[in-house]
């Protein structure tokens, strides 16, 4: 956990959707380290409860089981933050699913499931959080997009790419509409992040191959993403809205594979 000398989110209440594991867990940990009270929302109750315990228990964090693709889930997540800690200042919608299926084989049901969590969930989370943030006189909304879709893509990720490109369009529209309420809306575009899921489902050879495609020579960590999300949630980003930050170690920069230069 990153510990700041100054707790720059002291007195703030944050809702992090998709925070039981991985990137979302890293974001929640950074927020707590910076003094925020955090609601961890996820479909995974056991992992979510364990994360809350790691964060410091009910004084600083609460768990709520929700399906963010459903309006009732988004409403419950926001209501939990308001009831537990008195309001809502920061929303992070990080929940996302990414099955691998070629476009010719994607069923309508699978397409709807991916866009339901990734894109519909973004809309529902923002809509649910809006009244609570207006009541506070402002707030921060931050959405996890991806370099996949807005910047690059690969076979098997047609639905995922469409959902993440859609998130970027939604960020711009929401930033414009919510500006009068003192609410900023931004996003992050992670590259390949070394989460528990990647370690469990990808071979060491695959991970090494991905590392070789990154100019900085390593995959990202949840803490790398959490640092950028913290910036967007902080007062330092008060004049930043309607944009995304690419966090990929330079992965999208090369024109081809032969990009490494000898230090000499």
In the residue annotation, 160 being an active-site residue is answered as yes
* Residue 42 exposure: Cα atoms within 13 Å on the Cβ side: 26
Element spanning 246, H or E: strand 244-247
What is the distance between the alpha carbons of residues 40 and 62, in angstroms, rounded to a whole number?
6
What is the C-alpha separation between 47 and 70, in angstroms, rounded? 21
* CA trace torsion 18, 23, 24, 28 (10° rounding): 170
Which position among 98, 160, 181, 239 bears the catalytic label? 160
Cross-strand bridge partners of residue 37: 13
CB 65 within 8 A of CB 39: no
- C-alpha 88 chain-centroid distance: 17
Q: Any idea which residues carry the catalytic annotation? A: 160
């Amino acid at each position: 956990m990153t510990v700041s000398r100054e707790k720059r989110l002291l007195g703030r209440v944050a809702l992090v959707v998709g925070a039981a594991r991985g990137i979302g867990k890293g974001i929640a940990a950074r927020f707590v380290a910076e003094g925020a009270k955090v609601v961890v929302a996820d479909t995974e109750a056991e992992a979510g409860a364990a994360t809350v315990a790691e964060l410091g228990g009910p004084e600083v964090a609460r768990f709520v089981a929700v399906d963010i693709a459903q309006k009732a889930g988004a409403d419950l997540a926001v209501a939990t933050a308001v009831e537990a800690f008195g309001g809502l200042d920061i929303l992070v919608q990080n929940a996302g699913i990414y099955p691998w299926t070629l476009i010719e084989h994607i069923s309508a049901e699978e397409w709807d499931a991916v866009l339901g969590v990734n894109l519909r969930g973004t809309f529902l989370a923002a809509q649910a959080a809006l009244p609570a943030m207006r009541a506070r006189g402002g707030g921060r909304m931050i959405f996890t997009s991806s370099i996949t879709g807005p910047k690059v893509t690969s076979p098997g990720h047609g639905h995922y790419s469409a959902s993440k490109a859609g998130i970027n369009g939604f960020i711009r529209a929401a930033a414009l509409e919510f500006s009068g309420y003192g609410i900023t809306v931004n996003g992050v575009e992670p590259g390949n992040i070394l989460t528990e899921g990647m370690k469990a489902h990808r071979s060491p050879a695959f991970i090494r191959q991905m590392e070789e495609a990154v100019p900085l020579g390593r995959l990202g960590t949840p803490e790398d993403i959490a640092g950028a999300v913290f910036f967007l949630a902080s007062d330092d980003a008060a004049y930043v809205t309607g944009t995304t930050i690419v966090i990929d170690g330079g992965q999208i920069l090369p024109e081809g594979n032969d990009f490494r230069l000898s230090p000499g």
